Structure 1
Amino acid sequence: MNMEQIEAFIFVSLTGSFSKTADLLYLSQPTVSMRIKALEAYLDCKLFRRTGHTISLTREGELFLPYAKSILHSLQEGQMALKRSAGEVEGELAVSSVFIAAFYILPDLVEQFQKMYPKIKLTILTGHSHQVLEMVLNHEVAFGIARAVTHPQINQIQLMSDQMVLAIYPGHAFTERRQVTIEEVAQEPLILFNRGSLDWKLIDSAFTHHQLKNKVVMEVDNIEVVKRMVKQKLGIAFVPRFSILKDLEKGELHEVEVLNLPQIQRNFELIYLKETPFQGIMRTFVDFLMQSKLREDRT
């Protein structure tokens, strides 16, 4: 067993694909397969279950994964410490992102990245998902961060997931309750965020399914404005949970589970051209994101 085998195992578990892992590690697909087989032979068990085009962890794979992540995490920490001390990594990197990720997710990630690699200049461009995709396809940026984007020329890596939750203001009638029914929500003034999104379509379909009509009193295309309106007690709203984390910590907003409403969970993905060679700064950036994801999984 060696680090190359462990790295291949972790990346296949993250991407669910031998070919995507090969692209990420700048290897051939047969090489990735050989490393997984060698690791399975050493551990004397199957780590992945292959069903058609779907690859998933076996029970043994799930058991081994946290230990493999711990090993790789420690190695990456050591490697990055050496690179930082030597001041080796420098250059520029352009990344595009959907607005919501740029506002709520990237600031903390960029702060961590710049502390680790102060000589790398990041350029962040924003847009809607289709614009982020176009920037990647046109080689304007190396990577994009988007939601639910597919294209034959790109690969995706899941960065994080989040779900839509009902945000209410302190003192609202729902404040002391953990759960409310969709019928009760239908009686409340609702501030609508992003009517054209898939999130809202799913929520609206749930109201329709229960033969309920929601009381939309306001439509807003900016989450910060939505939050301000809720805090002003003008209504309640369905918003991505990560957008109100700090408000929840401060007690300025509360979240309530809505019964009879499907769990709406959406992924943020890193997208890049399949032809992209992962070398130098690009490899450094992907390794940083994977390490951040490992830290998130460990908490």
Structure 2
Amino acid sequence: MNFIQLEYFKKTAECGNITMAAKKMFVSQPAVSKQLKLLEEELECKLFARRGNRLALTLEGELFLKHAKEIVSKVKNIKDEINFSRKKVSGKLAIGCGAVSAKLLLPNIVDKMIKEYPDVEVSIFEAETNEMRELLESDVIDISFSAEDLRGGSEKKIEFKEIFSSELVLVCSEKCALARMRKVSFEEIKKYPLITYTPDTGVYRVLVKALLENARIILQSRYSETMLVYIEKNLGVGIIPEYIARLKSLNGIVVRKLDTDIKIHMGINHDVSKPLSPAARIFIELLSAEYGK
């Protein structure tokens, strides 16, 4: 058994097709088939079973895949770890995040990371919550930074590390009657048209039971900027994280506290079966230093 066989097996399991796996690894299909055959002969079991046009993992294949992923990840991480011990960080770091984080929270961190560690190749994937879970599970991204713990419903062991929490606040036009109140209740908010985030966002999920079930929603958007345009025109009121209200210029809009303490929790999700690379650890340290408690 060798590392090449493990890589070929892992990629074939991901693709469900030897030809597609071979293309992605820039090798020939017979080369992949030969190594998989040798691997099955050594293990004395079948790792794949054909299901129509696809290859599905057998029970033995499922078990072997778990170990193969860990080994491939650790071997690929050896060079990065050695460089890290010599105070030199290199490698690739793929980060998943939502639209708000991509625009407001990560640009300064990414800029600092690239300047201080030029040998690290950083890439950002803007995605919805469900997409980020899939990207983590398929190893497209190394970590995700989001307002939601992705552990629920995941087959993998996903760990969530909170970086900071932010209370939710009301934002409304300075012309709105709610602007004259110091604190606002949900009962008062329900009297007004609501401008909110889309269902794939963490804020929406936090609010859905408390407010949204009986609310008159006139706009749903993934982007705070879009919401604020409508709010400024007094077409409705919205609830956003306090850090967004603090980081943005709000012309003609006032911020008011809710009479109920509701928070969202921003943090890092990663697969614990895969060790965090030195680059990922440094990125998390930079995030914590900038936004941590």
**The TM-score by the shorter chain falls in which range?**
0.5 to 0.7
Structure-2 change in CA distance of 1:252 and 1:91 (3 Å): farther
Q: Secondary structure of the equivalent of 1:157?
A: strand
Aligned to 1:233: 234
Spell out, residue by residue over 1:75-134, the C-alpha distance to the aligned partner (whole angstroms, 9 max, x if none): xxxxx9x95xxxx43333222223332232211221222232233221111212221122
Matched, 1:273 2:263: no
Q: Secondary structure of the equivalent of 1:206?
A: coil
User: Do the aligned residues in 1 keep the contact of 2:90 with 2:119 (CA within 8 Å)?
Assistant: yes
Identity of aligned residues (%): 17
Q: CA RMSD in A?
A: 3.0
Q: Distance in 2 between matches of 1:201 and 1:123?
A: 27
Letter matched to residue 271 of structure 2: L
Q: Distance in 1 between matches of 2:273 and 2:206?
A: 35
Matched, 1:177 2:181: yes
Aligned to 2:137: 137
Aligned to 1:105: 105
Letter matched to residue 285 of structure 2: M
Q: Distance in 1 between matches of 2:215 and 2:270?
A: 39
Structure 1 unaligned residues grouped into runs of 5+: 1-79
Structure-2 change in CA distance of 1:142 and 1:297 (3 Å): closer
Aligned to 2:92: 92
Aligned to 2:248: 247
User: Do the aligned residues in 2 keep the contact of 1:199 with 1:264 (CA within 8 Å)?
Assistant: no
Structure-2 change in CA distance of 1:164 and 1:122 (3 Å): same
Letter matched to residue 267 of structure 1: H
Q: Secondary structure of the equivalent of 2:179?
A: coil
Spell out, residue by residue over 1:22-72, the C-alpha distance to the aligned partner (whole angstroms, 9 max, x if none): xxxxxxxxxxxxxxxxxxxxxxxxxxxxxxxxxxxxxxxxxxxxxxxxxxx
Matched, 1:219 2:220: yes
Q: Distance in 2 between matches of 1:221 and 1:297?
A: 24
Q: Distance in 2 between matches of 1:197 and 1:297?
A: 21
Aligned to 2:60: none
TM-score relative to the length of structure 2: 0.59
Structure-2 change in CA distance of 1:226 and 1:208 (3 Å): closer
Instruction: Note the C-alpha offset of 1:204.
Output: 5.0
Structure-2 change in CA distance of 1:177 and 1:240 (3 Å): same
Structure-2 change in CA distance of 1:252 and 1:286 (3 Å): farther
Instruction: Note the C-alpha offset of 1:208.
Output: 8.6
Spell out, residue by residue over 1:227-286, the C-alpha distance to the aligned partner (whole angstroms, 9 max, x if none): 1111222221112222222335x5553211233x4x3222223122223234xxx22331
Letter matched to residue 289 of structure 1: I
Q: Distance in 2 between matches of 1:237 and 1:276?
A: 39
User: Do the aligned residues in 1 keep the contact of 2:192 with 2:216 (CA within 8 Å)?
Assistant: yes
Aligned to 2:163: 159
Structure-2 change in CA distance of 1:168 and 1:214 (3 Å): same
Letter matched to residue 282 of structure 2: D
Q: Distance in 1 between matches of 2:211 and 2:139?
A: 42
Where do residues 189-208 of structure 1 align in structure 2 (5 Å cutoff)? Answer: 189-195=193-199, 199-200=203-204, 203=207, 205-207=209-211
The count of residues paired between Structure 1 and Structure 2 equals 205
